[in-house]
Structure 1
Amino acid sequence: MTVPVLELDQVSISYRDGDQCRCVVHEVSFSVGPGEVVALVGESGSGKTTTAQAVIGLLAGNGRLEQGAIRLNGTDIAGWSPARFDSIRGRVLSLIPQDPTSSLNPVLTIGEQVAEILRIHRHGDRKAIAARVIELLAHVGLPQPERRARQYPHQLSGGMKQRVLIAIAIALRPALIIADEPTSALDVTVQRRILDLIDSLRREQGTAVLLVTHDLGVAADRADRLVVMQNGRIQEQGPTAALLRKPQSAYARKLLADAPSLSTTAFRPAVSGDDDDIAIEVDELVHEFASDGRHDRFRAVDRVSFRVRRGTTHAIVGESGSGKTTTLRNVTGFLRPTSGRVRIDGIDPATLRGEALRQFRRRIQLVYQNPFTSLDPRQTVFRIIEEPLLNFEPLPRAVRERKVRDMLARVGLPPAVLARYPHALSGGQRQRVAIARALVLDPRVLVLDEAVSALDVTVQAQILDLLETLQRDLGLTYLFISHDLAVVRQIADTVSVLHGGRQVDCGRVEDVFLRPGSDCTRELLAAIPGQGHPRPVLHPSPCLEAA
């Protein structure tokens, strides 16, 4: 009988906060065999990351393994000292962390950082290590590896930085790799390439992979088995195909129902209305930036045109560097076009100055990607939502308070939240506060910049439902910036696909998705995770109906 590379047996983990001790992982048991991919899936707070941290000996200082065994190649490593873990990290088990930007040292070259793991474990002399660094960078698909070795992290794209982290993780051919949300910050095509790379390395070296993710589509595509966690407990586990086809637990059914890439939801139904009632008009938009040379110009947006009917949602999709953000900044008036024209409700923001431009911003508001960084941590929720009113309207306090409370109720939050600070809220609650802040000035257009990409699938589904309700009730027009085409399919009426600053497809979402006009669009659609697996059979359950 083959010994599992990793085996957890009745593992329970707690965190101590002052005199209080809170158990966050309860009697978790599962295994990972040689060359196997097992995915830990669940929402934030489900215990999946804490479980993975315990495996690699990186629990927070107040974390404690209360009971159970963690066996690595048959040896129980539970309770090992940090020094003992240092002797096996990188050599026997490795970690691919979530954020490639914060995980690399900004003042060391890429080559120095890859070489560090080799030096720590004395893997050859200086010359051998230098050669191995180049070999590793080439192996993970980085072009011009000698050049990349001399560069610093800020000179690489997100996908390139994630490849560097993979090079570090596989440098010593470990038996187990823990991949903690390894692609959550990447565009779908880059995500697919990174996951393909991990998969090919697994096949070549027989490495086992513990994949920690909230993306059910990624787990469906890449894992041999799924372990579904909620509130620190395993709700269900089993072979991926069987679990997707017929999930047994109510929680697994809800997760699968909320995952856009696994959803059976068809395209958004067409909205009737006046085709001449245009809220946003972008005509032959060009935006250039100064390049390195004195007279050189870089064209970030090249003759992009689209129109958005009032009360509908238009999505802009594309890889990093496609021109999405530059287009957004032109539409909102933060940049002025090099040529072409933008009109919001018939007003060209490029013609406005001073107070007129400031007042224009009431018509169009932004909701940003990350609810953890877009809210001021020093302000209460009441102050956060009230602040735009203080900036734009000299209203009596009683009127301001009523508007804040009304808007809070509209986004589905209770009055008790008003006295709290952002750190006391969940990710979904924070994004609801950000939406309330954007809507308190009664704008007609809302720009949503990756507004659900940082959220777990169930919270994401709740926010998408909220946005649909607000649009219907308030007649809002949305400009939705996203790299998640599964979400776009669900929420948008029309879409522009950008590539290299050019618009390569534009039209109704259903038309573009079913009949793409460019290879770029076809590649983006092919990269949507979860498409190659059977749709789950989702039978109603009393638990779900009660929820």
Structure 2
Amino acid sequence: MTDVLTDPAVAAPGQPDTVPVLELRNLSVSYADRHRKHRRVVHEVSLKILPGEVLALVGESGSGKSTTAQAVIGLLAGNGRVDGGSILLNGTDIAGWSQKRLESIRGAKIALIPQDPTSSLNPVLTVGAQVEEVLRLHTKLPKPKRRKRVLELLERVGIPEPERRAGQYAHELSGGMKQRVLIAAAIALEPQLIIADEATSALDVTVQRRILDLIDDLRAETGTAVLFVTHDLGVAADRADSVVVLKGGRVQEQGPTTQVLTNPSTDYTRQLLADAPSISPVVPRPAPKLGRTNTVQVDNLIQEFDTGRNQRFRAVDDVSFQVPQGSTHAIVGESGSGKTTTARALAGFQRPTSGSISISGHELSGLDAKSLRQFRKHVQLVYQNPFTSLDPRQTITRIIEEPLLNFGPVSRQDRVKAVRDLLHRVHLPESLLTKHPRELSGGQRQRVAIARALVLRPQVLILDEAVSALDVTVQSQILALLEELQRELDLTYVFITHDLAVVRQIADTVSVMSAGRQVETGTVSEVFDNPQHHYTRELIEAIPGNRKAKQ
């Protein structure tokens, strides 16, 4: 058996020519409940990754993919345990190692890039100090050399002005920069295995592409093996050499990426592929009915904010678009492009600095406080994260009926009928009415959020990244639900998103925003098939799922 410090490309006598950097043999993992009864969540998973290879572990939430990755690096929750099987790192089984022994290889031989850079970085330490910590723990480099290495790493991962950035704190950096800091820490010691656990799922598509390109470059330069944990089959299609599909903690199928994604052998994988907006065939949407009046009319919208010292920041700069009744208009762009600021202005949460917004014939700038409150019955918001937007102390009944209580006297009998009717509309069972948000899945919570938004019978729904936090299968179900509700209730949608693959699937028209300005607008087919602005072309090219097809 080889030692973990041995070069994995050098075979021991009697072993294959190349020893896998990572090999799992029948790995099983369970979690204990509050009664200390263990429930198995990973069942005899086997896989292997050779030096320089990328393996994607794909599946929905609850499939066991993150648990599998956490078991590899010895970071299971306190109630988790490895029940059986082997975790071979360069041929050495580390499944039974103590935490102290595992600490000697974390960062040095195995590195983790987690999903949420904000919660993964210490808010009271500079980012430079956090990258330096890896070097301090695993090397004998003197402090000046450690600091020099930190700057080299920050520059390597594409962070501008590394000396200045090293002295900053996490809250001073964008999401993409924070993720680059985590990558700098992960590659500091050139580990043999990088585990990227949904490491780009929260990023804009262009930032995501740059991060994935960076990991690709590092793999090519150092021979590092990569385990991608992802629910995004587009990312797997672009970046992975092989794929393992998990469901309920069991391997459904595995093999070379091209084989699995072009000729899947299981219904589950076929469904995942059908639900993935970036690689599934685009079904043309029915053309909007001609001659319909514009439910939403935005003309020359400018939104500025006071930044102090008599200075103003222009977040939205001269934006105009129209949304005919019963159609969907998407507003797309990276973080900081002004799309959410535009959404908040549409919802009446802030008065425009100049320009006009008219919704269902109501000109927002002319409404007093009382009229503005009544106006909000016509426009409702559905947010990105259904868990944080639902009151955890309230039952589902109370959550859905609350807007009725806020906007006038409605009898208990009418409230009960409205809640039950909406629950049926969003395809949820009545048994959920007495439950709380924590007892529901992410998809169920988003359906509740949609039901709550519809209880006042609005004409317009503003959906602010409303499906970006969901797995592809649940995302597909919510998008289908939104289309069904639009047909049945003649709803008008304004869809805020950074995901152009979703736009292509659900929207009729689109505005592309960059740095507060609308750089392009038109029908989805016009903008996608013949983009006029270089920024639009960059966004479209960054949609995952097409990279290998273009190579």
Task: Tell me the TM-score range normalised by the shorter chain.
Answer: over 0.9
Q: Specify the alignment match of 1:544 in structure 2.
A: none
SS at match of 1:68: strand
Matched, 1:113 2:130: yes
Of 381-390 and 525-534, more deviation after overlay is shown by 525-534
Partner Cα separation in structure 1 for residue 497 and residue 484 of structure 2:
20
1:462 aligns with 2:453: no
**Alignment equivalent of 1:395, drawn from 410, 424, 434:** 410
Return the letter of the residue paired with 1:35.
G
**Superposed CA offset, 1:31-61 (max 9, x none):** 0110100000000000000000000000011
- Find runs of 4+ consecutive structure 1 residues off by over 6 angstroms: none
SS at match of 1:372: helix
Task: Check conservation: 2:31, 2:40, Cα contact below 8 A.
Answer: yes
Task: State the 1:373 CA deviation.
Answer: 1.2
Give the Å deviation of 1:393. 2.6
Q: Is contact 1:123-1:129 (8 Å) kept?
A: no
Tell me if the contact between 1:218 and 1:530 (Cα under 8 Å) persists in the aligned partners. yes
Write the distance in 1 (CA, Å) between the matches of 2:394 and 2:97. Answer: 42
Counterpart-to-counterpart distance in 1, 2:514 and 2:426 = 34
2:359 to 344, 357, 362: 344
Q: Deviations over 1:57-114 (max 9, x none)?
A: 0001111111100000111000211111111100000100000111111111111111
- 1:128 equivalent to 2:133? Answer no
Partner of 1:285: 301
Q: Distance in 1 between matches of 2:500 and 2:518?
A: 16
Q: Find the counterpart in structure 2 of residue 8 from structure 1.
A: 24
Question: Which deviations, in whole Å up to 9, do the C-alpha atoms of 1:263-295 show, x marking residues without a partner?
Answer: 1124423122324x1110000001112235x23
Deviation at 1:534, TM superposition (A): 6.2
- Aligned counterpart in structure 2 of residue 496 of structure 1, from 492, 507, 511: 511
- Separation in 2 of the partners of 1:353 and 1:186? 38
Once residues 88 and 20 of structure 1 are traced to their aligned partners in structure 2, the CA distance between those partners, rounded to angstroms, is 31
C-alpha contact 2:338 2:515 (8 A) present in aligned 1 = yes
The match for 2:97 among 70, 80, 101 is 80
Asked if structure 1 preserves the Cα contact closer than 8 Å seen for 2:56 and 2:230, the reply is yes
Deviation (angstroms), 1:225: 0.3
**Cα distance in structure 1, aligned partners of 2:548 and 2:358:** 43
Task: Count residues with an aligned counterpart.
Answer: 533
Residue number in structure 2 paired with 1:538 = none
Residue identity in the other structure for 1:205: T
Q: 1-side partners of 2:179 and 2:528: how far apart?
A: 29
Does structure 1 residue 202 correspond to structure 2 residue 219? yes
Q: Residues 98-144 of structure 1: CA distance to partner in whole angstroms, max 9, x if unpaired?
A: 00111111111111111111111134011111111101000000000
377, 384, 405: which is aligned to 1:362? Answer: 377
Secondary structure of 1:172's counterpart equals coil
Distance 1:289 1:214 in 2: 37
SS of corresponding position for 1:459: helix
For structure 2, the residue ranges without an aligned partner over 5 or more in a row are 1-16
CA offset digits 1:177-218 (Å, max 9, x no partner): 000001111100000000000110111111000000000001
Equivalent of 2:530, from 502, 509, 515?
Answer: 515
Asked if the contact 2:332/2:500 (under 8 Å) is kept, the reply is yes
Matched ranges for 1:2-151 at <5 A:
2-17=18-33, 18-151=35-168
After superposition, the C-alpha distances for 1:285-306 in whole angstroms (9 at most, x for unaligned) are 01112235x2322211111000
Matches within 5 A, 1:305-384: 305-384=320-399
Retained in 2: the 8 A contact 1:8–1:69? yes
- Residue identity in the other structure for 1:59: L
Asked whether the equivalents of residues 381 and 464 of structure 2 are also in contact (C-alpha less than 8 Å), the reply is yes
| Identity score, percent | 67
Contact 1:389 1:441 in 2 (8 A): yes
Given that 2:306 and 2:312 are in contact with CA atoms closer than 8 Å, whether structure 1 keeps it comes out as yes
Q: Could you list the per-position Cα deviations for residues 448-501 of structure 1 after superposition, in whole angstroms to 9, with x for gaps in the alignment? A: 000000000110010000000000000000000001100000000000000111
CA distance in 1, matches of 2:102, 2:478: 41
Distance 1:170 1:380 in 2: 46
Aligned to 2:387, what secondary structure does the other structure show? coil
Other-structure match for 1:412? 427
Structure 2: distance between partners of 1:41 and 1:23: 19
In the alignment, is the contact (CA less than 8 A) between 1:268 and 1:489 conserved in 2? no
Matched letter for residue 119 of structure 1: R
Find the aligned partners of 1:348 and 1:184 in 2 and give their Cα distance.
Answer: 38
CA distance change for structure 1 residues 534 and 198 in 2, over 3 Å: closer, same or farther? closer
Q: What 5-or-longer segments of structure 1 have no aligned partner? A: 536-547
Judge conservation of contact 1:371–1:427 (CA < 8 Å) in 2.
yes
* TM-score between the two structures when normalised by the length of structure 2: 0.95
The residue identity in structure 2 corresponding to 1:487 is V
- Contact 2:356–2:364 under 8 Å retained in 1: no
Q: Is the 8 A contact 1:281 1:343 kept in 2?
A: yes
Structure 2 CA distance, aligned partners of 1:268 and 1:79? 54
Deviation at 1:533, TM superposition (A): 4.9
Q: CA RMSD in A?
A: 1.1
Q: Does 1:168 align with 2:185?
A: yes
Distance 2:234 2:291 in 1: 37
> 1:364 corresponds to which letter in structure 2?
V
Alpha-carbon separation, structure 1, partners of 2:463 and 2:213: 30
Cα distance in 2, alignment partners of residues 122 and 242 from structure 1 = 42
1:430 pairs with 427, 431, 445, which one? Answer: 445
